[in-house]
Structure 1
Amino acid sequence: MEQQKLPNATLILVFGIISIVTCCCYGIIGLIFGIIGLVLANKATNIYALDPALYEGYNNVKLGKTLSIIGIVLNILVVIFFIWIISIIGWDSMQNEELMRERLEDYLQNME
Protein backbone atom coordinates (compact mmCIF):
# COMPACT_ATOMS: atom_id res chain seq x y z
CA MET A 1 0.00 0.00 0.00
CA GLU A 2 1.28 3.45 -0.91
CA GLN A 3 1.77 6.03 1.82
CA GLN A 4 -0.12 9.30 1.60
CA LYS A 5 0.84 12.66 2.99
CA LEU A 6 -0.65 13.74 6.26
CA PRO A 7 -3.30 16.39 5.72
CA ASN A 8 -1.96 19.94 6.20
CA ALA A 9 1.57 18.76 7.10
CA THR A 10 3.23 21.48 5.01
CA LEU A 11 0.68 24.09 6.10
CA ILE A 12 1.42 23.33 9.77
CA LEU A 13 5.12 23.90 9.14
CA VAL A 14 4.44 27.16 7.30
CA PHE A 15 2.14 28.42 10.09
CA GLY A 16 4.81 27.62 12.68
CA ILE A 17 7.39 29.62 10.74
CA ILE A 18 4.99 32.52 10.19
CA SER A 19 4.13 32.62 13.90
CA ILE A 20 7.80 33.16 14.77
CA VAL A 21 8.52 35.63 11.98
CA THR A 22 5.48 37.81 12.74
CA CYS A 23 6.08 38.08 16.48
CA CYS A 24 7.24 41.67 15.90
CA CYS A 25 3.77 42.66 14.62
CA TYR A 26 2.46 43.49 18.11
CA GLY A 27 2.17 39.77 18.84
CA ILE A 28 -1.39 39.37 17.60
CA ILE A 29 -0.81 38.06 14.06
CA GLY A 30 1.82 35.56 15.12
CA LEU A 31 -0.33 34.38 18.02
CA ILE A 32 -3.18 33.61 15.64
CA PHE A 33 -0.93 31.67 13.25
CA GLY A 34 0.69 29.81 16.15
CA ILE A 35 -2.63 28.71 17.62
CA ILE A 36 -3.98 27.61 14.25
CA GLY A 37 -0.76 25.69 13.55
CA LEU A 38 -0.93 24.00 16.95
CA VAL A 39 -4.57 22.96 16.49
CA LEU A 40 -3.86 21.58 13.01
CA ALA A 41 -0.79 19.76 14.33
CA ASN A 42 -2.81 18.11 17.08
CA LYS A 43 -5.41 16.94 14.54
CA ALA A 44 -2.69 15.57 12.23
CA THR A 45 -1.00 13.83 15.16
CA ASN A 46 -4.27 12.13 16.07
CA ILE A 47 -4.74 10.99 12.45
CA TYR A 48 -1.17 9.69 12.34
CA ALA A 49 -1.60 7.83 15.63
CA LEU A 50 -4.47 5.79 14.19
CA ASP A 51 -2.32 4.19 11.45
CA PRO A 52 1.33 5.38 11.25
CA ALA A 53 2.17 3.07 8.35
CA LEU A 54 -0.41 4.75 6.14
CA TYR A 55 0.97 8.31 6.35
CA GLU A 56 4.20 10.14 5.63
CA GLY A 57 5.27 13.68 6.52
CA TYR A 58 4.98 13.34 10.27
CA ASN A 59 8.36 15.08 10.69
CA ASN A 60 6.86 18.25 9.19
CA VAL A 61 4.00 18.03 11.67
CA LYS A 62 6.34 17.60 14.65
CA LEU A 63 8.56 20.48 13.54
CA GLY A 64 5.56 22.68 12.78
CA LYS A 65 4.10 21.93 16.19
CA THR A 66 7.38 22.83 17.89
CA LEU A 67 7.67 26.06 15.90
CA SER A 68 4.06 26.93 16.69
CA ILE A 69 4.67 26.48 20.42
CA ILE A 70 7.80 28.64 20.23
CA GLY A 71 5.86 31.23 18.23
CA ILE A 72 3.00 31.28 20.74
CA VAL A 73 5.42 31.81 23.64
CA LEU A 74 7.28 34.59 21.80
CA ASN A 75 4.06 36.32 20.82
CA ILE A 76 2.67 36.16 24.34
CA LEU A 77 5.89 37.76 25.59
CA VAL A 78 5.58 40.49 22.95
CA VAL A 79 1.95 41.16 23.92
CA ILE A 80 2.92 41.38 27.60
CA PHE A 81 5.78 43.75 26.69
CA PHE A 82 3.47 46.06 24.71
CA ILE A 83 0.88 46.06 27.50
CA TRP A 84 3.65 46.99 29.94
CA ILE A 85 4.90 49.80 27.68
CA ILE A 86 1.39 51.17 27.20
CA SER A 87 0.79 51.07 30.95
CA ILE A 88 3.97 53.09 31.53
CA ILE A 89 3.74 55.75 28.85
CA GLY A 90 0.03 55.67 28.00
CA TRP A 91 -1.85 55.10 24.79
CA ASP A 92 -1.95 58.77 23.78
CA SER A 93 1.85 59.03 23.75
CA MET A 94 2.13 56.08 21.35
CA GLN A 95 1.04 58.42 18.54
CA ASN A 96 3.10 61.43 19.65
CA GLU A 97 6.87 61.01 19.53
CA GLU A 98 7.67 64.03 21.70
CA LEU A 99 5.22 63.00 24.39
CA MET A 100 6.60 59.46 24.31
CA ARG A 101 10.17 60.70 24.73
CA GLU A 102 9.10 62.97 27.61
CA ARG A 103 7.26 60.20 29.45
CA LEU A 104 10.10 57.73 29.00
CA GLU A 105 12.58 60.27 30.36
CA ASP A 106 10.29 60.88 33.35
CA TYR A 107 10.01 57.15 33.92
CA LEU A 108 13.79 56.65 33.76
CA GLN A 109 14.38 59.56 36.17
CA ASN A 110 11.89 58.08 38.63
CA MET A 111 13.70 54.74 38.42
CA GLU A 112 16.93 56.31 39.73
Structure 2
Amino acid sequence: MEKQPIPNGTLVLVMGILSIIGCCCYGLPGLIFGIVAIVLAGKATKTYMLAPETYSGFGNVKAGKIMGIIGVVLSIAMVLFYVWMYTTIGLEAMQDPQLMELKMQELLGQ
Protein backbone atom coordinates (compact mmCIF):
# COMPACT_ATOMS: atom_id res chain seq x y z
CA MET A 1 0.00 0.00 0.00
CA GLU A 2 1.32 3.39 -1.00
CA LYS A 3 1.56 6.13 1.60
CA GLN A 4 -0.53 9.22 1.00
CA PRO A 5 0.45 12.74 2.05
CA ILE A 6 -0.92 13.80 5.39
CA PRO A 7 -3.94 16.11 5.05
CA ASN A 8 -3.03 19.80 5.43
CA GLY A 9 0.67 19.00 5.89
CA THR A 10 1.82 21.53 3.31
CA LEU A 11 -0.77 24.06 4.50
CA VAL A 12 0.59 23.89 8.05
CA LEU A 13 4.10 24.50 6.73
CA VAL A 14 2.97 27.49 4.63
CA MET A 15 1.00 28.98 7.54
CA GLY A 16 4.03 28.59 9.81
CA ILE A 17 6.24 30.42 7.32
CA LEU A 18 3.63 33.17 6.89
CA SER A 19 3.36 33.58 10.66
CA ILE A 20 7.07 34.41 10.90
CA ILE A 21 6.87 36.79 7.94
CA GLY A 22 3.60 38.31 9.19
CA CYS A 23 5.01 39.26 12.57
CA CYS A 24 6.77 42.15 10.83
CA CYS A 25 3.41 43.62 9.75
CA TYR A 26 2.45 45.07 13.14
CA GLY A 27 2.19 41.54 14.52
CA LEU A 28 -1.48 40.80 13.82
CA PRO A 29 -1.17 38.80 10.56
CA GLY A 30 1.59 36.72 12.12
CA LEU A 31 -0.57 36.03 15.13
CA ILE A 32 -3.47 34.87 12.96
CA PHE A 33 -1.33 32.69 10.68
CA GLY A 34 0.52 31.21 13.67
CA ILE A 35 -2.65 30.25 15.50
CA VAL A 36 -4.07 28.67 12.33
CA ALA A 37 -0.81 26.73 11.84
CA ILE A 38 -0.86 25.43 15.41
CA VAL A 39 -4.52 24.36 15.25
CA LEU A 40 -4.11 22.63 11.88
CA ALA A 41 -0.93 20.94 13.10
CA GLY A 42 -2.82 19.57 16.09
CA LYS A 43 -5.51 18.10 13.85
CA ALA A 44 -2.94 16.66 11.43
CA THR A 45 -0.98 15.14 14.33
CA LYS A 46 -4.10 13.41 15.63
CA THR A 47 -4.80 12.04 12.15
CA TYR A 48 -1.22 10.83 11.79
CA MET A 49 -1.16 9.16 15.20
CA LEU A 50 -4.22 7.08 14.35
CA ALA A 51 -2.44 5.42 11.42
CA PRO A 52 1.21 6.48 11.01
CA GLU A 53 1.91 3.77 8.44
CA THR A 54 -0.69 5.31 6.10
CA TYR A 55 0.67 8.87 5.87
CA SER A 56 3.87 10.52 4.75
CA GLY A 57 5.07 14.10 5.17
CA PHE A 58 4.72 14.40 8.94
CA GLY A 59 7.96 16.41 8.99
CA ASN A 60 6.14 19.29 7.28
CA VAL A 61 3.57 19.28 10.08
CA LYS A 62 6.24 19.34 12.80
CA ALA A 63 8.21 22.11 11.08
CA GLY A 64 5.06 24.15 10.45
CA LYS A 65 3.97 23.83 14.08
CA ILE A 66 7.38 24.95 15.33
CA MET A 67 7.38 27.93 12.97
CA GLY A 68 3.81 28.73 14.00
CA ILE A 69 4.83 28.83 17.66
CA ILE A 70 7.82 31.03 16.85
CA GLY A 71 5.60 33.30 14.75
CA VAL A 72 3.05 33.64 17.57
CA VAL A 73 5.76 34.53 20.10
CA LEU A 74 7.34 37.10 17.76
CA SER A 75 3.94 38.55 16.90
CA ILE A 76 2.99 38.94 20.56
CA ALA A 77 6.32 40.66 21.19
CA MET A 78 5.69 42.99 18.25
CA VAL A 79 2.15 43.84 19.41
CA LEU A 80 3.44 44.54 22.93
CA PHE A 81 6.17 46.74 21.48
CA TYR A 82 3.65 48.82 19.51
CA VAL A 83 1.37 49.12 22.56
CA TRP A 84 4.37 50.29 24.59
CA MET A 85 5.32 52.82 21.88
CA TYR A 86 1.74 54.11 21.71
CA THR A 87 1.41 54.53 25.47
CA THR A 88 4.91 55.95 25.97
CA ILE A 89 5.36 58.43 23.14
CA GLY A 90 1.87 58.67 21.65
CA LEU A 91 0.39 58.39 18.20
CA GLU A 92 1.51 61.86 17.06
CA ALA A 93 5.16 61.05 17.71
CA MET A 94 4.86 57.69 15.98
CA GLN A 95 3.75 59.48 12.81
CA ASP A 96 6.29 62.33 12.89
CA PRO A 97 9.97 61.26 12.77
CA GLN A 98 11.30 64.52 14.22
CA LEU A 99 8.88 64.45 17.14
CA MET A 100 9.69 60.77 17.72
CA GLU A 101 13.40 61.55 17.87
CA LEU A 102 12.71 64.31 20.41
CA LYS A 103 10.52 62.03 22.55
CA MET A 104 13.09 59.23 22.43
CA GLN A 105 15.83 61.64 23.54
CA GLU A 106 13.58 62.70 26.43
CA LEU A 107 13.09 59.05 27.37
CA LEU A 108 16.82 58.38 27.33
CA GLY A 109 17.51 61.51 29.38
CA GLN A 110 19.72 63.23 26.81
TM-score, reference length from structure 2? 0.92
**1:57 — aligned with what?**
57
For structure 2, which runs of at least 5 residues remain unmatched after alignment? none
Letter of the 2:96 partner, please give it. N
**CA–CA distance in 1 between the matches of 2:22 and 2:36?**
14
**CA–CA distance in 2 between the matches of 1:54 and 1:24?**
38
**CA–CA distance in 1 between the matches of 2:18 and 2:36?**
11
**CA–CA distance in 2 between the matches of 1:58 and 1:97?**
47
C-alpha displacement of 1:98 = 2.5
What is the 5 A alignment of 1:45-84?
A: 45-84=45-84
C-alpha displacement of 1:51 = 0.8
**CA–CA distance in 2 between the matches of 1:100 and 1:13?**
38
**CA–CA distance in 2 between the matches of 1:91 and 1:49?**
49
CA RMSD in angstroms, aligned pairs only: 1.3
Letter of the 2:100 partner, please give it. M
C-alpha displacement of 1:20 = 0.9
**2:28 — aligned with what?**
28
**CA–CA distance in 2 between the matches of 1:33 and 1:92?**
30
C-alpha displacement of 1:97 = 2.2
C-alpha displacement of 1:27 = 0.7
Letter of the 2:86 partner, please give it. I
For structure 1, which runs of at least 5 residues remain unmatched after alignment? none
C-alpha displacement of 1:32 = 0.6
Per-residue Cα deviation, 1:14-73 (whole angstroms, up to 9, x for no partner): 111111122111111111110001110001001111111111111100111011111111
2:87 corresponds to 1:87: yes
TM-score, reference length from structure 1? 0.91
**CA–CA distance in 1 between the matches of 2:102 and 2:63?**
45
C-alpha displacement of 1:103 = 1.5
**2:17 — aligned with what?**
17
**Aligned pairs, number:** 110
